Amino acid sequence: MERKHLEIDLNALRHNYRVMADLAGPETKIISVVKADAYGHGLIPVSRTLVDCGAHALGIFRPNDAIAIRQAGLDVPIIALSGIFPWEAQAAAEHNLSVVIYTMDMAQSLSQANREMGKVGDVLIKVDTGMGRLGVFPRDLPAFLDALAPLKGIRVTGIASHLAASELPEDPHTAGQVEAFAQSSLSMIHDNLGNSGAILEGLAKGYPMARPGIALYGSAPDPNMKGAALLKPVMAFKTRIIFVKDLPAGSPVSYGMTYVTPGPSRIATIPVGYADGYFRRLSNKGVAIVHGKRVPVVGTVCMNLTMLDVTGLEGVESGDEVVLLGNQGDQRVTGDELAASAGTISYELYCSLGRANPRHYME
């Protein structure tokens, strides 16, 4: 029996993919984002599931991810969403990786690598319409296209951009990005603007491609945005109580004595801490489910241990299941709730938990 593990619900993943595909519309091809080890959910099992669902392509961050996907036998198109270093061009060509580009160094290195292999590789141009991160400014796009024209071995298939605040569809900045992208894409074959928020808010309809990320895993960029209630959580995090003790009133709990028992209390210790991706910021803020009841995290979260106040619960003992993320009975702790308690976002939470814990895949 493991001390802690993640449960990854592949049926929930399939459900979320169908929600994204339905909201994007039948004419929109879905690029399913599996970067960061599929947001902590597991690159290969998630990729297989999404390909089976009908994903047009997979979006990754590192060429090494493409190599792993190819070695797993998946022949789906793969897109490097954040570009490549020049020394990664050969691997990109070898594994038929489409690359989002925004510098001439990328384009030239890909051109050379593909020509040496007798290939032509697809590239998309990243346009910065207001994210301030990666990409060519719209005003510089015509000159960039002219500079690409003589290069052999690459084929420009379209442009891509990213919304800075897709959860705020009425914000003038979002409207400005959509307009800037529309103007930039007039002469292109394909274009791609829709991230999870854009799809949920209906902004991706009419675009040939959309690239959902976090929504595939059951969260929205903003839990209150339109469409968020349609999603199902994919990840659960479970552990077991390792020790239970009764403390008198006035007893400090854990490092720094940040919590002192207000009265006679029963404290359960679980073998989970910040080394397991459970944020220290959840000290005195987190919540767990024990015996179907929500109980608070008390005291400072340690490297490998966390304490829960289970006062008033009958029969709590070592070995009992604890749900830190997910459902038990009719109670639920969501990724958005836990992330908000830690002052972060569900993306970071899933990635942190996914890096540190064994995963069980549920069909």
Q: Which two tokens stand for residue 280?
A: 């220290």
Q: Is the dihedral of CA 275, 279, 282, 286 positive or negative?
A: negative
pLDDT digits (tens, 9 = 90+) for 125-156: 888 877 778 888 888 888 998 999 999 999 98
Measure the CA–CA gap between 180 and 103, rounded to whole angstroms: 20
Which domains occur in the chain, in start order?
10-219 (3.20.20.10), 235-362 (2.40.37.10)
Coil, strand, or helix at residue 88?
helix
Long-range contacts of 276-279 (CB under 8 A, 24+ apart): 276/4, 276/304, 276/353, 276/356, 276/357, 277/349, 277/352, 277/353, 277/354, 277/355, 277/356, 277/357, 278/237, 278/306, 278/324, 278/352, 278/353, 279/342, 279/344, 279/349, 279/352
Q: Of the listed 29, 35, 126, 238, which one is catalytic?
A: 35
**How much is the pLDDT for 160?**
77
The whole-model pTM stands at 0.88
Q: CA distances (Å), 256 to each of 70, 252, 300, 301, 310, in order?
A: 49, 9, 7, 11, 21
Which of 38, 84, 83, 86 is closest to 58 using CA atoms?
A: 38
**How much is the pLDDT for 180?**
57
Annotation marks residue 274 as catalytic: no
Q: Which two tokens stand for residue 9?
A: 């619900």
**How much is the pLDDT for 187?**
46
pLDDT in tens, the chain (363 residues): 689 999 999 999 999 999 999 988 888 889 999 999 999 999 999 999 999 999 999 999 988 999 999 999 999 999 998 899 999 999 999 999 999 999 999 999 999 999 999 999 999 888 887 777 888 888 888 899 899 999 999 998 888 777 666 566 666 766 666 665 666 655 454 555 556 776 777 666 667 778 889 999 999 888 888 878 899 999 999 999 999 999 999 999 999 999 999 999 999 999 999 999 999 999 999 999 999 999 999 999 999 999 999 999 999 999 999 999 999 999 999 999 999 999 999 999 999 999 999 999 998
Which of 103, 192, 113, 85 is closest to 144 using CA atoms?
A: 103
Annotation marks residue 35 as catalytic: yes
Going by their DSSP bridges, the two strands 243-247 and 331-333 should be labelled as: unpaired
